[in-house]
Amino acid sequence: MMINANFKNHFTVQWRSFAQLAFLDRQTSGLLIFLAIALVSVWSAFAAIVGVLINNSLSLIIKDYTVQEWKLGIAGYNGAIVGMYWGDSIFSIKGLCLFLVTLLLCLLIEFRLRALLIPRQLPILSLPAMASILLIVLTISLFSLDTNHLLFEGAAEPIFQTYSREIAIILVVSAMAYQYPLATLQTLGISLTGGLIAQWITGLSLYVLVDLWAINLALAYFSIKTLFLKHYRLATLAATFNTLLAWVIWYFWLITGLEQLSAPLLIPFIMSSLITLSLFKRYKNHNLLQSELWRTFQLLLTNRLRAKQCVAITGSGIRKGTLPDYPSGQWLDPKVPITSYTLAEFKTSKRCRYLYWKASFDYYQQALAINKNNIDKQLDYLLNHYLSGLFTETVDSLFNTEQHPVYECYGSIKRLYCLDCAQQQAWPPIPLWLQRDLHCQHCSGLLKPQILAADENIDPQCYQALQTNMVECGCLLVIGVPTITSVVSMIIENANSNKTPIIFIGTLPLGYFVEEKDIQLTGDIAHWLAEINWFINVLHPLKWSYKWKK
For Zn ion, give the closer residue by CB, 420 or 531.
420
Find the part of the chain contacting Zn ion (CB under 5 A) among 55-63, 282-290, 410-418, 487-495. 410-418
Nearest in space to 339 (alpha carbons), one of 355, 326, 361: 355
For Zn ion, give the closer residue by CB, 221 or 346.
346
Spatial strand order of the sheet with 502-506 comes to 406-408, 387-392, 309-314, 473-479, 502-506, 519-522
Nearest-approach distance from CB 543 to Zn ion, in angstroms: 45
Nearest-approach distance from CB 421 to Zn ion, in angstroms: 3
Find the part of the chain contacting Zn ion (CB under 5 A) among 42-50, 235-243, 419-427, 496-504. 419-427
Find the part of the chain contacting Zn ion (CB under 5 A) among 192-200, 417-425, 459-467, 510-518. 417-425
Q: Strand pairing partners for 391?
A: 313, 407
For residue 357, give the amino acid letter. Answer: W
Binder of Zn ion out of 116, 307, 443, 538 (CB under 5 A): 443
Nearest-approach distance from CB 438 to Zn ion, in angstroms: 11
Binder of Zn ion out of 440, 476, 479, 488 (CB under 5 A): 440
Nearest in space to 20 (alpha carbons), one of 128, 154, 140, 176: 176
**How many residues are given for the chain?**
550
Nearest-approach distance from CB 445 to Zn ion, in angstroms: 4
Nearest in space to 76 (alpha carbons), one of 52, 47, 57, 101: 52
Binder of Zn ion out of 75, 127, 418, 536 (CB under 5 A): 418
Annotated ligand binding at 440? The verdict is yes
Binder of Zn ion out of 420, 456, 472, 524 (CB under 5 A): 420
User: How many residues form the binding site for Zn ion (CB under 5 A)?
Assistant: 8
| CA 232/CA 476 separation, integer angstroms | 29
Nearest-approach distance from CB 423 to Zn ion, in angstroms: 5
437 sits near Zn ion (criterion: CB under 5 A): no
For Zn ion, give the closer residue by CB, 216 or 412.
412
Binder of Zn ion out of 372, 442, 540, 543 (CB under 5 A): 442
Nearest in space to 385 (alpha carbons), one of 408, 367, 403, 409: 403
Subset of residues 226 to 265 that bind Zn ion, contact rule: CB under 5 A? none
Nearest-approach distance from CB 432 to Zn ion, in angstroms: 17
| CA 20/CA 29 separation, integer angstroms | 9
Find the part of the chain contacting Zn ion (CB under 5 A) among 257-265, 342-350, 361-369, 433-441. 433-441
196 sits near Zn ion (criterion: CB under 5 A): no
Three-point CA angle 535, 540, 543, nearest 5°:
130
Residue 423 CB partners (closer than 8 Å, separation 6+): 417, 440, 441, 442, 443
445 sits near Zn ion (criterion: CB under 5 A): yes
| CA 247/CA 337 separation, integer angstroms | 70
Binder of Zn ion out of 421, 432, 471, 542 (CB under 5 A): 421
Annotated ligand binding at 352? The verdict is no
Cβ atoms < 10 Å from Cβ of 137: 19
For Zn ion, give the closer residue by CB, 82 or 418.
418
For Zn ion, give the closer residue by CB, 175 or 447.
447
> Per-residue contact track with Zn ion, 313 to 342, x per CB under 5 A?
------------------------------
DSSP sequence for 250-296: HHHHHHTTHHHH---TTHHHHHHHHHHHHHHHHHTT-GGG-HHHHHH
For Zn ion, give the closer residue by CB, 64 or 420.
420
Q: Strand pairing partners for 519?
A: 503
In angstroms, the first-to-last Cα distance of the chain is 85
For Zn ion, give the closer residue by CB, 248 or 443.
443
Distance set, CA 534 to CA 306, 335, 378 (Å): 20, 46, 10
Binding residues for Zn(2+) are: 418, 421, 440, 443
What residues are designated binding site?
A: 418, 421, 440, 443
Binding site for Zn ion (CB under 5 A): 418, 420-421, 423, 440, 442-443, 445
